Structures are given as C-alpha cells and as structure tokens.
Amino acid sequence: MSALNAGSVNPGDADIARRVRAASSSFYWAMRLLPGERRRAIFAVYAFCREVDDIADEPGDLADKLEALDEWRNEIDDAFAGKPHDPVSVALAAARDRFGLRSKDLIAVIDGMEMDATGPIVAPDAATLDLYCDRVASAVGRSCVRIFGEPGEAGQSLAHHLGRALQLTNIARDVAEDAADGRLYLPREVLEAHGITTTDPQAAIRHPAYPAAWRVFAALAGAQFDKAEEAFDACDAAMVRPARIMAEVYRLNLDRMLALDDAAIADASVSKHLVGKWTKLAIAFRYGVL
C-alpha cells in the first residue's frame, strides 16, 4: 500500500502544479486538460523529471551529482515499495496505484540524466543518441501514456516515437545553448558525413557545412513525428489529447526552424523564431474543446 489511497489528496499537489506551470507553459496547458487524478499524476512525473534534470544540469561536483541521482533511485524504490518520503514521490506512488506507473521507466529517466551529468555529450554515435532520447524522453512518454489511459501497444509506440521527436526538436532548437555548455548532441555520423570532424562544439557550429548537417539532423525529428502520427491514429484521440497538443506545438516549431535560410541556421539562434505563448494557448484551446 502507498502512503495515499487512490483518489486522496497529496498536500504537495498544489506546490507541484505551481512548479510545473512556472517551468513549462507548453506542458502545463496541455496536461491541465486532464481530469483531476490524471492531471496530478502527470504533474508529478514532470516535477520528478525537473528534479533530476536540475541535478544533472546545475553546476556542481560530479560525485555530488551522482550521489543525488542515486538518492532519487532509492526514493523511487521506496515509493514503489509503499514508503515514499518526498512530496513528488508520494504523488508518484499514488500514480503507481491508480495508473500502473512503472518504476523502471522513472529509473530510465535518472539513467539518462546521469549520461548528461557524466558528460558532456559531444557528437555521440547514433546508437548512443537514441539511447539518450529513449531515457530522457520516451521513458517519460511511457509513464504518460499509462496515465492517459493508453498503456497498450499503440500508446507504447506513441511514447517511443513522439518522445524521440520532441527530444530531437529540442536538440535542434538548443544547439547554440548546448555548445556554450560544451555539449553537442548532433550524431557523429551526420557531422562526419558533412566533413565536420572537430570535437569542439563551438567550432562545429561555425563550420561552413553546419547548416546542411543541421537540416539532416532536423529531418530525423520530422521522421519521428511522422511515425508518431501513425501511433496517434491507433490511439483513442480523446485519451491522448495532451500528447496531441505537445506534438502540434513542437512540430510547428520544427517546421518554422526548417523554413529558415542557411544564414539563420548558421547563426544557431533559431529559438527566436519559435511559436509564442498565444499560439500555444490557441493550440491547447483547439484540442481542448474538440
């Protein structure tokens, strides 16, 4: 038995919701469409992801980061054994009871954050990048589809492809920011195919062939969106409306980036061309009332 019975209220729920709203307008407005229990569960998953992501990304000693991530592994184990301590894990334990949330999916997220913490990741091979995307994005999706009510094959396919599509779009958007932090997630195979062999992220994005390499990479995200569309068709549309909103926002962002000329891509400041708050809200409203 978890610390809370299904349907009971976690005193930390309001604080979790505030944190989600402050951290991500896209996610918040998409997921708030869910009914109470599902919304609380999905916000808990997001809050958990923020906790471990902050551990990986914030400055600090590597040993301290690894210890903090291990503490979260232990916390997840305790939560799924019915002994949660942190308000977020209390909510996750309740979601386990109500929606069949799996600890292995949450542990996979921690493993992905450890990849960042022990990095920086620079021009990984395609298999390593795919593993990273599976852990930090698709594993989150596997928890989400259970909460949505689509835990079967169609939902798992949606988690697999949409998770990758969203993560690859984030990477395409954030190349300059990541390079400033010594990171470069574009796969080695794509870079080398365009004659970019440097391991210096800043030098890589200044290479004359970088815009062409970026477009090939961005097309990988587009292919995952196409696969996600097939999964959407196999799911109950009403159950996965929040995922549809996220897909629409991110696909529009990707399309806007791909429409830029090479000079804008070379500038690597593509984020200024992305959809704004009102467009996101319009998309949320569109799918919220359908």
Mean of the pLDDT values across residues 18-37? 72
Residues written for the chain: 290
pLDDT at 267: 79
The residue with greater pLDDT, 25 or 128, is 128
pLDDT value for 3: 38
How many domains does the chain contain in total?
A: 2
The verdict on 90 and 214 lying in the same domain is no
111 within some domain: no
Indicate if 125 and 102 belong to the same structural domain: no
Task: Report yes or no on 216 lying in a domain.
Answer: yes
Phi, psi of 96 (to 5 degrees): -60, -45
Residue 12 lies in a domain: yes
Task: Please give the Cα distance from 79 to 288 (Å, whole number).
Answer: 32
Do residues 47 and 13 lie in contact, with contact meaning Cβ atoms separated by under 8 Å? no
**What range defines the domain where residue 40 resides?**
1-106
Q: Which of 55, 82, 106 finishes a domain?
A: 106
Q: Are residues 177 and 218 in the same domain?
A: yes
Q: How confident is the model at residue 2 (pLDDT cuts 50, 70, 90)?
A: very low
Q: Tell me: the pLDDT tens digits for 206-227?
A: 999 999 999 999 999 999 999 9
Return the DSSP state at 121.
-
CATH number of domain containing 229: 1.10.600.10
pTM for the complete prediction? 0.89
| 47 within domain boundaries | yes
Residue 8: pLDDT over 50: no
- What contacts 32, CB < 8 A, 6 or more positions away? 39
Is the domain of 134 the same as that of 200? yes
Mind listing the pLDDT tens digit for each residue in 63-122?
A: 999 999 999 999 999 999 999 988 899 999 999 999 999 999 999 999 999 999 998 999
